[in-house]
Amino acid sequence: MTEVIHVSVDADGIATLLFDRRDSNMNVMDMKFMDEIEAAIERLAGDDAIKGAIFTSGKPVFAAGADLKQIEASLNSSQNSADRDTPVAERLARNASLSRVLRRMETCGKPVACAINGTALGGGTEIALACHYRVAADARGIRLGLPEVQVGLLPGGGGTQRVPRLIGIQAAMPVLMEGQALSAEKALKMGLIHRIVPAADLIAEAKRWLIEEGDPVQPWDKKGYKLPGGAGPSSPAVAQMLVVSNAMLQAKTFHNLPAPKAILSCLYEGPQLPMDKALEVEAKYFTLLQLDPVSRNMIRTLFINKGKADKLMHRPAGIARTTFRRIGVVGAGLMGAGIAFHCARLGIETVLIDRDRQAADKGKGYAAKRLERDIAKGRTSRDEADVILARIHPTTDYAGLAEVELVVEAVFEDRALKAGITRKLEAVLPAHAVIASNTSALPISELAEAGARPQNFIGMHFFSPVERMPLVEIILGRRTSPETLARALDLAQAMKKTPIVVNDGPGFFTSRFIGAYINESLVMVTEGVNPALIENAAKMAGIPVGPLTVSDEIGLDTAWHASQQRKRDEGDAFVPTPTFRLVEKLAGELGRHGRKNGKGFFAYAEDGSKKLWPGLAELFPPLAEQPTVDEVRTRMLYAQLVDAARAMADGVLLDPADGDVGSILGVGFPAYLGGPFSMMDTIGIAEVVAECDRLAARHGAQFAAPQLLRDMAAEGLSFHGARRVTPPAAVR
Ligand code: NAD
């Protein structure tokens, strides 16, 4: 009795290998899958009554790739020394098991046709590529692709070898090195699949091919096979292209990402070899990547922990789901307009309120403008755009909110203004409705107290531009109820955002975390570190936007207003810091507000180009001896590590997973590091503490390691894995 791959043979001798797990509603690929597919292929090879086979899936998603639970278990064990000590030969054999089975399938002497009835990513696409014929259903939304590179790996089931042999080395590059998900049409055009037919004809077409054509030998196993265009890695054009691609890759990734580099090596070495040898090369590079902490950290954060967040790991149990047909948004500015547009595209109506009709209409205008662009690019039809636009209802009248279950408040960052809005909202909303403030930094618990129902109040911190940024940071006020949290999470999910949940505290998590990076960078400016060195060190660390660029984008005036507010709040206790003085000088005295008025750390020209403002060197004379890139990078990253550890120690973070996911998806922490907690685990907590001590002695108390880190180092604990620390927030 099989549980994963079910074989049936029809009267014509055509076997169907049906991938349909009985133990799961997703076709995941684990050891059980491997055993059963191997048995099925042996039967196919050995049974003379079978002429050929159709490989297809019994689930809507053709195959869901590797099994999450198995990966998580192996991640945890790869942190213990027993697994690290696994002999290389054994590891290689284990990693090559899918590759070996698929190779056996394509050389077993019987033709196999793949009937792709649903999305096949990763291992699913690799199965298809190993079949002799590939036909996909014309169902909308079917995707094919090899996204392994996005978690620091390469497709280890033959993908790096079959793709270039099918479509050529150059065309294979974006497929493998960027991990693009391709529509069936695109895959057909590129030559990765043979045909697209109506879903109802899928199996018949696979069978037709087996009976009428049925060639059991892959092109690359035929005598005289040449890569498409005859262009092997050593032909002058391809060799030159590989050299240039490698240089471009390193210019873009600064040697931080081992996976695309390994894929490039597979593309260079593999196609010079016969397939069996080429697959060995692939397995070797796969194993190197697997042993690298980059893949472990990316898998943990971007696959496992992001997956848990998407499944709402912090959603309290036993509370009915809320389905949102209509929400309210107050404040139709940059954020409010973005939220309304994003919701409208997902079928959720928005009552969009501003202080006057013109401002509300302007918010809707944002959606109209974006939709025009989509129409021009052929992404949307006029009719579709009209339907989307009709879901946004601009108004000044709060009466339209009488039946909504949640309102996002996105007015100016002003406590008194927000308090007034809360009271106005409570007057019209149903008693259980949630008010979610999109504030970037004002304390949620205080904002909640402005109204009579603080239990219904929560923070939902979206990022700009809302329609593109994948994260929402949900902030619990002191009195936020479990029902309110559940509703906010349900909306996040309906908006297809990844939610992290944090406790209230200055700057929540993401704002304080990016603040630590910017602050340390500005401290360096005041010390006379070359601003270009600072910007470039950030880029070399893999941070997408340099700290001075970010400061100019956010606006130095915004930072100045915030610091003036802090000065007023703290009264006599206020001690001006070097960055306070810097911002006061630039924004307060010199009127350099950033990109918005064409002058900040950079000077902006009419044509949009910019260069660092030379006046900085007069204000902060350059150090005679500049620090190394490494020291600058270390200061930026450690400022964030310490801050993340403090956010954990202070109970702001409920779980290290939230910090890791939030840092990458929200504020551009380098993905290859897996987030601050994964990074600290990789370095080793004791080593992190030692480095903090060194940095604190040289550069100041911002690097003082919190007691939590010292205790963890003493007890040999980490943030993830088998010996993980219990987050202080969970103890309270
Ligand atoms: P914005 O200035 O673009 O928009 C604010 C809107 O609020 C304006 O349209 C304004 O007319 C409206 N408004 C002001 N008073 C009002 C009132 N009494 N009634 C109704 N509407 C009123 O600001 P924004 O960038 O969209 O920011 C909104 C909120 O989101 C702020 O709290 C901000 O801190 C937060 N936030 C901003 C960003 C960002 O990148 N801009 C990111 C995350 C969070």
- DSSP letters along 541-553, please? HT-SS-HHHHHHH
CATH number of the structural domain 326-505: 3.40.50.720
d(CA 579, CA 570): 17
Q: What is the pLDDT of residues 494-542, one digit of tens each?
A: 999 999 999 999 899 999 999 999 999 999 999 999 999 999 999 999 9
Check pocket membership of 410 for ligand 1, CB cut-off 6 A: yes
Q: For this structure, is 461 an active site residue? A: yes
417 lines ligand 1 (CB under 6 A): yes
Q: Verify whether ligand 1 is closer than 6 Å to residue 335 (CB atom).
A: yes
Spelled out in words, what is the top-level CATH class assigned to the domain 509-732? mainly alpha
Distance CA 488, CA 434 (A): 8
Give the helix/strand (H/E) hosting 135.
Answer: strand 133-137
Among 63-77, 176-190, 448-462, 713-727, whose mean pLDDT is lowest? 63-77
Single pTM value for the model:
0.93
Q: How far apart are CA 539 and CA 334, in angstroms?
A: 27
Pull the structure tokens for residue 38.
């191997």
pLDDT of 84: 65
Are 113 and 53 in contact by the 8 Å Cβ rule? The answer is yes
Q: Does the C-beta of 356 come closer than 6 Å to ligand 1? A: no
- Predicted local distance difference test score (pLDDT) of residue 428: 97
Task: Kindly report the protein residue whose alpha carbon is nearest to atom 44 of ligand 1.
Answer: 440
Distance 336 CA to ligand 1 centre (A): 7
- Cβ distance 27 to 19 under 8 Å? yes
Q: How many CB atoms lie within 10 A of CB 94?
A: 14
Task: Using alpha carbons, select from 562, 651, 588, 579 the residue that is nearest to residue 620.
Answer: 579
437-460 average pLDDT score? 96
Distance CA 183, CA 196 (A): 11
Ligand 1 atom closest to the CA of 413, numbered from 1 = 32
* Residue ranges covered by each domain of the chain: 5-291, 326-505, 509-732
pLDDT tier for residue 77 given thresholds of 50, 70 and 90: low
- Confidence band of 82 (pLDDT split at 50, 70, 90): low
Cβ within 8 Å of residue 429, ≥6 positions away = 401, 402, 404, 407, 435
Average pLDDT for 660-689: 98
Residues 114 and 129: their CA atoms lie apart, in Å, by 9
Contacts of 536 (CB under 8 A, 6+ apart): 546, 629
Q: Among residues 315, 312, 328, which one has the least CA distance to residue 433? A: 328
Question: Has residue 80 got a pLDDT over 60?
Answer: no
Q: What is the side-by-side strand order in the sheet with 349-353? A: 392-395, 349-353, 326-330, 406-409, 434-437, 457-462, 471-476, 498-503
Cα(166)–Cα(176) distance, integer angstroms: 13
* Residue 116 CA neighbour count, 13 Å, CB half: 36
Mean pLDDT of the chain: 95
- Determine if residue 333 is left, alpha or beta; phi over 0 gives left, psi from -120 to 50 gives alpha, anything else beta: beta
With a cut of 80, say whether residue 83 has pLDDT above it.
no
* pLDDT score for 646: 98
Residue located via tokens 């194993």: 287
Instruction: Looking at 313-355, list the stretches that DSSP marks H as alpha helix, in order from N- to C-terminal side.
Output: 334-345
- ∠ CA 92-93-94, nearest 5°, is 90
- Look at residue 328 and give its three-state secondary structure: strand
The Cα–Cα gap between 353 and 347 comes to 19
Q: What integer is the mean pLDDT of 549-562?
A: 91
pLDDT attached to residue 209: 98
* Per-residue model confidence (pLDDT) at position 566: 83
- How far is the C-alpha of 141 from the C-alpha of 120, rounded, in Å? 11
DSSP assigned state of 705: P
User: Cα of 415 to ligand 1 centre, how many Å?
Assistant: 12
Mutation test of ligand 1: which of 352, 361, 407, 411 has the most ligand atoms closer than 8 Å to its C-beta? 411
Residue type at 29 in one-letter notation: M
- Please give the distance, rounded to the nearest whole angstrom, from the Cα atom of residue 638 to the centre of ligand 1: 32
Q: Does the beta carbon of 729 sit less than 6 angstroms from any atom of ligand 1?
A: no
Report the top-level CATH class of 5-291: alpha beta
Query: Which protein residue has the closest C-alpha to ligand 1 atom 25?
Result: 334
* Any atom of ligand 1 within 6 Å of the Cβ of 217: no
Q: Pick the range with the lowest mean pLDDT from 8-22, 66-80, 718-732.
A: 66-80
Q: Cis ω on the peptide bond leading into residue 670 (within 30° of 0)?
A: no
pLDDT tens per residue, range 97-109: 899 999 999 999 9
Q: What CA–CA distance (Å, rounded) separates 238 from 232?
A: 7
Q: Nearest Cα to 113, choosing from 128, 98, 126?
A: 128
CA distances (Å), origin 124, targets 131, 258, 708: 11, 24, 43
- Of ligand 1's atoms, which has the minimum distance to the CA of residue 353? 20
Least Cα distance to 201 among 113, 115, 112 occurs for 115
pLDDT score of 465 more than 90: yes
Find the length of the chain: 732
Residues 96-125 have a mean pLDDT of 96
**Half-sphere exposure of residue 24: CA atoms within 13 angstroms, side-chain side:** 17
Predicted pLDDT at 561? 87
Closest CA to 151 of 72, 96, 83, 234: 72
579 and 519 in contact (C-beta within 8 Å)? Answer: yes
Ligand 1 mean position to 363 CA, how many Å? Answer: 11
Q: Which residues pair with 327 in a beta bridge?
A: 350
Amino acid identity, residue 729?
A: A
DSSP 446-504: HHHHTSS-GGGEEEEEE-SSTTT--EEEEEE-TT--HHHHHHHHHHHHHTTPEEEEEE-
Q: In this structure, what token pair is assigned to residue 239?
A: 């060799």
* CA-wise closest residue to 106 among 188, 197, 221: 221
- Determine whether the shortest distance from the Cβ of 475 to ligand 1 is under 6 A: no
Both tokens of 181, joined, read 């998900």
Contact 480, 448 (CB under 8 A): yes
Answer yes or no: is the C-beta of 460 below 6 A from any ligand 1 atom. Answer: no
Active-site position among 132, 314, 461, 720: 461
HSE-CB of 244 using CA atoms within 13 angstroms: 7
> What is the separation, in whole angstroms, between the first and last Cα of the chain?
50
Nearest-CA residue for ligand 1 atom 12 is 331
| Tens-place pLDDT, residues 570-613 | 899 999 999 999 999 999 999 999 999 999 999 999 998 999 99
Give Cβ neighbours of residue 487 (< 8 Å, ≥ 6 apart): 322, 405, 406, 434
Ligand 1 center from residue 598 Cα (angstroms): 22
Of 339, 350, 437, 440, the one to substitute when testing ligand 1's pocket (max ligand atoms within 8 A of C-beta) is: 440
- Token pair listed for 213: 């054509």
pLDDT of residue 732: 61
Lookup: tokens for 458: 């929560």
Please compute, for residue 26, the number of CA atoms within 13 A of its CA located in the half-sphere on the CB side.
13
Dist. CA 438 → ligand 1 center (Å)? 8
- Mean pLDDT, residues 307-311 taken together: 97
pLDDT of residue 441: 86
Q: Which residues pair with 352 in a beta bridge?
A: 329, 394
Residue 337 CA: which ligand 1 atom is closest?
26
**Contact 18/33 with Cβ under 8 angstroms?**
no
CB of 425 within 6 A of ligand 1: the answer is no
Segment (H or E) for 144 = strand 143-145
Q: What is the pLDDT of residue 230?
A: 75
* 647, pLDDT greater than 60: yes
Is residue 457 within 8 Å of residue 448, measured between CB atoms?
A: yes
User: Which residue has 């944090």 as its token pair?
Assistant: 502
Q: Where are the beta strands (DSSP E) in 12-125?
A: 14-19, 52-57, 112-116, 120-121
Q: Give the pair of three-digit tokens for residue 376.
A: 């021009």
Q: Which residue, 727, 654, 645, is CA-closest to 480?
A: 654
Cβ 107 vs Cβ 100: under 8 Å: no
User: What one-letter code names the amino acid at 13?
Assistant: G
Question: Mean pLDDT throughout 220-240?
Answer: 89
CA distances from 574 to 541, 571, 579, 650 (A): 33, 6, 13, 22
pLDDT of residue 382: 96
Best probe residue, ligand 1, of 334, 342, 553 (max atoms within 8 Å of C-beta): 334
